[in-house]
Structure 1
Amino acid sequence: MKLNRETTAYLLGAGTFLVSLVVPPAAQAALATLATGLAGYHVAWEGLHDTVVQTQAAHRFTPNIHLLMILAALGALAIGSPTEAALLILIFAGAHFLEEYAENKSRSAITALMAMAPNNARRYTAGGRVEVVAVDDLAVGDRLLIQNGAQIPIDGTILTGTGAINEAAISGEAIPREKGPGDPVFAGTLNGNHPFDMTVTKAASDTVFAQIIRLVAAAQNTPTQTASMIQRFEPRYVRLVLAALPLVLLAGPLGFGWSWATSWYRTIGFLVAASPCALAASAVPATLAGITTLAKNGVLFKGGRYLANLKQLKAIAFDKTGTLTAGHPSVTDVRFSAAVVEAELLPVIVAMERQSNHPLAAAIVAHFPTVPPCDVTVHSQLGQGLSATVAGHQFIIGKPARFAPVPAAWQAQVAALTHQGKTVILIARDGVVVGLIALLDAPKPSAKGAIDYLKAHGVTPVMITGDAQPTGAAVGASLGIDTVYANVMPTQKASVISRLQAHFAPLAMVGDGVNDAPALASAEVGIAMGAGTDVAIDVADVVLVDNDLARLAFAHRVSRKLDRIVRENLVFAMSVVVLLVGLNALQLTNIAWGVVLHEGSTLLVILNGLRLLHMRRES
């Protein structure tokens, strides 16, 4: 706790109160009254100042809880109970400090992130020298040197060298990633033991790290629907309590036969019991704790209400390519006829594909990294595939249409693989098909687990893809997604979301491309993959920094726990109010015990919300 003026006065007040408990009765009242003033002056200021400001803004009387506490303390002093007044203020102010601590604990994520932001970079000059410059002075295209153990200053791409990059700052993943030329690197991450050169691809203000800081800051300033409702309810409730005070005062002598002194005492007790301190603290600390925990785990929310809404979802629509799948093809099947020797054929195939710039060719080459090189001259015809002559043999690599009709010996295999959504490439030698290679944009390892989790919790997964029906159906079946919209043009995705909302509301959309942006904006919750386009990230409400759908399942878990904690807090807070009002009316408690129980409930509510700070993602 920072020892500013308020906390110093509070500690002095607490010390004075403790002394008042052991001094003679003659000095006890004076010390307790002094303790009340020291510990509560900032409570009085906030109550009066905020009430005036909010009343002027709303053009109607808008009191807050602090005002009730001031009146309760003044009333206790007026009836000669300074010890109860001091106890009330000390516990209320202590709970208030704890709530501020809870909020600051969550908001410290911003401070920690900003402290991690790099300030300087080592840039190559035109002459090849290395100069140290401010990160803000870097421009797209600059070449930088990243030393051993150094922090990467800005987003870019590795040019030469390799590095084991610790990306925990942006993804929450502690295991370093091996990266080499062509791989992206991000500001705020840490290089391992190997230096490398990189080129800058984004301005300092547009890096993933900068976006994280902005998104977390925005989220912590946007309350949930429940928190907003409580904030709107608070002044109405306080007005109701203030209006009830004269009725409670008169009900004592007129309805229960109490003396006026007893009625005054019970009226102060009612004021303490009815104050909604715990109610006001039911949602905000818990929401901030949830947002902070998720930010540390690579899930960024642009507002607390989106975290609360996640638990309410009836369905989530997923874009396929780059979201559910890797976004690039990979080899799944390699088959050759018995008439050829695979070890002799593979070098020719890989050598031919190395000379093509087609994505399928790159996938085939990547699948056979240890195949020795082979010198060939390749001829490529658009739509026809590749051809080459090697050692007197004519080789052709192309899609089945190139060989139509497909030889009977291969028809069943080609049909079966195509039905699975795979792209099939046939290899022919001297006009005879001797092998095939099948490729698929395979689902991400995290996708199946995330889909299974969502289905287990009553959330219907839907896939939207521009691919043909067989491919979409095959990928959907492998992930357990029963509802698949295939052949969907980019301009049609938003209309598909609208149709789904008629049956599943609220609905979320997960995507990564420019073509997903309208659908992300149309859904009740838009979720963008962190490696997606800036447009998708800008319009989305949630960003999965590491493109890991397992983190979406974790966010849903946090949302469910947040909802459960807030409900627990609301029920507990109102139950304590009802209990204390009843005990006060029956004269079964005094002001001191009412203060302890009431403000103790506020402390418990805040601590209950802070449990979200300790949630851990399942590995």
Structure 2
Amino acid sequence: MVPETKGLEKRMENVEVSWIEKIKPHAELIAAGMSGLLILAGWLLDKYGQGTGSIIAYLMAFVIGGFAKAKEGLEETIENKELNVEMLMIFAAIGSSLIGYWTEGAILIFIFAVSGALETYTMNKSHKEISSLMELQPEEALLVSNGYEEKIPVSQLCIGDQILIKPGERIPADGVIMKGKSTIDEAAITGESMPISKGVNEEVFAGTVNMSGSITVSVTKESNETLFQKIIQLVQSAQSEKSPSQLFIERFEGTYVKVVLLVVVAMLFLPHFLLDWSWQESFYRAMILLVVASPCALVASIMPATLSAISNGARHGILIKGGVHLENLSHLGAIALDKTGTLTKGKPEVLEVVVREDLDKEEIIWGAASIESHSTHPLAQAIVKYAKDSIDKELFYPESLEDVPGWGVTAVIQGNQWKIGKAAFVGKEVADSFASGKAKELASKGSTLVYIAINGELCAIIALKDVVREETKAAINQLKKQGIHTIMLTGDSEKTAKAIAKESQVDEYFAECLPETKVEYVKQLKSKYNNVAMVGDGINDAPALATANVGIAMGGGTDVALETADIVLMKNDLARIAEAVNLSKRMNKIIKQNVIFSITVIMVLICSNFFQFIDLPFGVIGHEGSTILVILNGLRLLK
């Protein structure tokens, strides 16, 4: 019986904790609701002549509805040694009750509590995007060791462990596929809805979904170091970072509150002597001024909108490291783009093979690929891939093979001497005249040429090129439509750079750039266009990314990019840059709307109070209503 009793007690405790956790995010809204019911009770008691009971109900409404905001206001005042808008509201509510306006004071507290609850809801809604992300990573993994399977907590996984992931399961850790093939849904990482096929030696990431086949994965990172965890940490820190506009408003708030208090003190006395108002009227109007002049709506104009925009971006694979970077995006005058891996795919592809008319094209490609299969050079690997895709034959091992650094490779196949490499390696003059000058034509298109000679005679030219991404032209044109000047920076030769720039349709290009010269070009662009972004792969472009006003890394799922840039595109998709710029413009537009609206409302209410057109309940509704409206307007960015 005793163990059963203990078990029951533990379950009851868990239920109680679970219940508390569920209502915790809604505590402010529940308190505001109770405050509203107590105000109704106080009004009914007053109507039926129960004055004392009415005052008790109003006092309870004050305490329950105003506790959260009063606590927040006092803590901030003590910490910053400066009064804030929360304290203005508390003073106004207490002042109203002192002159007998219990109902008005309680309504002020009630609406203030509702707007505070709504603001908290906005923050929670933004953070919920990250919480829902965190829930995507499994807590357990199926460890495979010596033919046995064992379920263990993800936190206990070590680098090198092999785990089995079955169809439909989420991948618990970053790793490399050792066995099997499947389609992986990487939406949680990249924001891309289309699943990707992956096989042996390809990377997979924690939090993504194994869609079709069973795969065995070798763990490459500790659970707290996964790309997934880094994304969560990055967005959490971004949400706590304040934009320049928000910092300005917060600095302005302290001075503004002091000015309001001075004006309120003046209004307590001056109208009585200068305009013959009664003391009660002067005090009443001073309390209304305390309410309507408070910059609550102005303070709430920026943060909810910024948090919503950052959450929106994270949901679509655009990770923004803070409001300052998002704010800067809408003011871009120019954007510099690295060529390799940004405008292009980053891997050379065979575009054309020109073979002497009396030779068999397939045999030449087969022989060249067999030789190049022993090299790790990107051009060699591209030739091998092309051969495997176009010829249904197994590659063979040449009779002899020698690498000539900086020039190419020599080999012997069936007694024939093969040379594969640069033009000068096979004979520059012969290379230029081969196939009626075809080499010059291919080079003018930005191709890299590999020459093949057999027994001293030039036999073929293979043209390779780092191909421009399919989406590049559309993405560049989108940026141009937004009035942004586009520039390509590349380490390639002038001829190649010119061809790629023309194909990708950028406005301008700079060729033969070293990392330090890219920095110089970015500085020149900043002096000309003021606000400049740099887009790169986050590794060799790091100095230029740091120099630009906004550094944008093409992530492609690499955590190196997370450390480098201000904004990370988790999928190598240039179109996301235009999306980020649009998001920034939407955010800044909504912030401007909020600021103009809140200032206008404050000015109208202050004037109405001075000319005695408005009473306290309407002042409360106008002031707090404007606060609620600007928060709701900021929430639109979550869509």
In the other structure, the counterpart of 1:560 is 585
Structure 1 counterpart of 2:622, from 581, 593, 597: 597
In structure 1, distance between residues paired with 2:56 and 2:485:
61
1:198-277, aligned counterparts within 5 Å? 198-277=217-296
SS at match of 1:514: coil
Amino acid paired to 1:330: E
Matched, 1:281 2:290: no
Matched, 1:13 2:35: yes
The answer to whether the Cα contact below 8 Å between 1:565 and 1:609 also exists between their aligned partners in 2 is: yes
Q: What do residues 381-427 of structure 1 show as CA deviations (whole Å, max 9, x unaligned)?
A: 3223454546x876654333323212524363321221222112234
Measured after TM superposition, the shift of residue 197 of structure 1 is: 1.6
Over 3 Å counting, the alpha-carbon distance change for 1:41 and 1:5 in structure 2 is farther
1:95-494, aligned counterparts within 5 Å? 95-125=115-145, 127-336=146-355, 338-343=357-362, 345-368=364-387, 369-373=389-393, 376-378=396-398, 379-382=401-404, 383-385=407-409, 387-389=411-413, 396-401=419-424, 402-405=426-429, 406=431, 408-410=433-435, 412-428=437-453, 432-494=457-519
Over 3 Å counting, the alpha-carbon distance change for 1:141 and 1:257 in structure 2 is same
Measured after TM superposition, the shift of residue 156 of structure 1 is: 1.4
1:456-535, aligned counterparts within 5 Å? 456-531=481-556
Measured after TM superposition, the shift of residue 69 of structure 1 is: 1.1
Amino acid paired to 1:384: G
Q: What do residues 231-275 of structure 1 show as CA deviations (whole Å, max 9, x unaligned)?
A: 111121111111101222334333333333322222222222111
Measured after TM superposition, the shift of residue 43 of structure 1 is: 6.3
In the other structure, the counterpart of 2:3 is none
The answer to whether the Cα contact below 8 Å between 1:272 and 1:595 also exists between their aligned partners in 2 is: yes
Measured after TM superposition, the shift of residue 559 of structure 1 is: 0.7
Amino acid paired to 2:209: L
Measured after TM superposition, the shift of residue 582 of structure 1 is: 1.1
Matched, 1:580 2:605: yes
In structure 2, distance between residues paired with 1:143 and 1:102:
42
How many residue pairs get aligned? The number is 610
In the other structure, the counterpart of 1:73 is 93
Which consecutive unaligned segments of at least 5 residues does structure 1 have?
A: 615-619
SS at match of 2:100: coil
Measured after TM superposition, the shift of residue 434 of structure 1 is: 4.7
Normalising to structure 1: TM-score of the pair?
A: 0.91
In structure 2, distance between residues paired with 1:111 and 1:536:
23
The answer to whether the Cα contact below 8 Å between 1:514 and 1:533 also exists between their aligned partners in 2 is: no
Measured after TM superposition, the shift of residue 109 of structure 1 is: 1.9
Normalising to structure 2: TM-score of the pair?
A: 0.88
> What's the % identity of the aligned pairs?
39
Q: What do residues 72-109 of structure 1 show as CA deviations (whole Å, max 9, x unaligned)?
A: 21222223222222221111110110000000000112
Further displaced range: 89-98 or 30-39: 30-39
Over 3 Å counting, the alpha-carbon distance change for 1:611 and 1:521 in structure 2 is same
The answer to whether the Cα contact below 8 Å between 1:33 and 1:83 also exists between their aligned partners in 2 is: no
In structure 2, distance between residues paired with 1:14 and 1:446:
55
In structure 1, distance between residues paired with 2:209 and 2:491:
38
In structure 2, distance between residues paired with 1:24 and 1:142:
73
Over 3 Å counting, the alpha-carbon distance change for 1:209 and 1:30 in structure 2 is farther
How much is the aligned-residue C-alpha RMSD, in angstroms?
Answer: 2.7
In structure 2, distance between residues paired with 1:111 and 1:434:
62
SS at match of 1:332: strand
Over 3 Å counting, the alpha-carbon distance change for 1:407 and 1:57 in structure 2 is closer
In structure 2, distance between residues paired with 1:441 and 1:314:
28
In structure 2, distance between residues paired with 1:64 and 1:495:
46
The answer to whether the Cα contact below 8 Å between 1:151 and 1:189 also exists between their aligned partners in 2 is: yes
1:38-117, aligned counterparts within 5 Å? 38-41=60-63, 44-45=66-67, 49-58=71-80, 60=81, 62-117=82-137
Measured after TM superposition, the shift of residue 301 of structure 1 is: 1.7
Amino acid paired to 2:113: A
Over 3 Å counting, the alpha-carbon distance change for 1:590 and 1:224 in structure 2 is same
Matched, 1:612 2:631: no
In structure 2, distance between residues paired with 1:122 and 1:40:
55
In the other structure, the counterpart of 1:617 is none
Amino acid paired to 2:269: L
The answer to whether the Cα contact below 8 Å between 1:16 and 1:32 also exists between their aligned partners in 2 is: no
In the other structure, the counterpart of 1:540 is 565
The answer to whether the Cα contact below 8 Å between 1:528 and 1:540 also exists between their aligned partners in 2 is: yes
Measured after TM superposition, the shift of residue 16 of structure 1 is: 2.4
Measured after TM superposition, the shift of residue 438 of structure 1 is: 1.5
In the other structure, the counterpart of 1:2 is 23
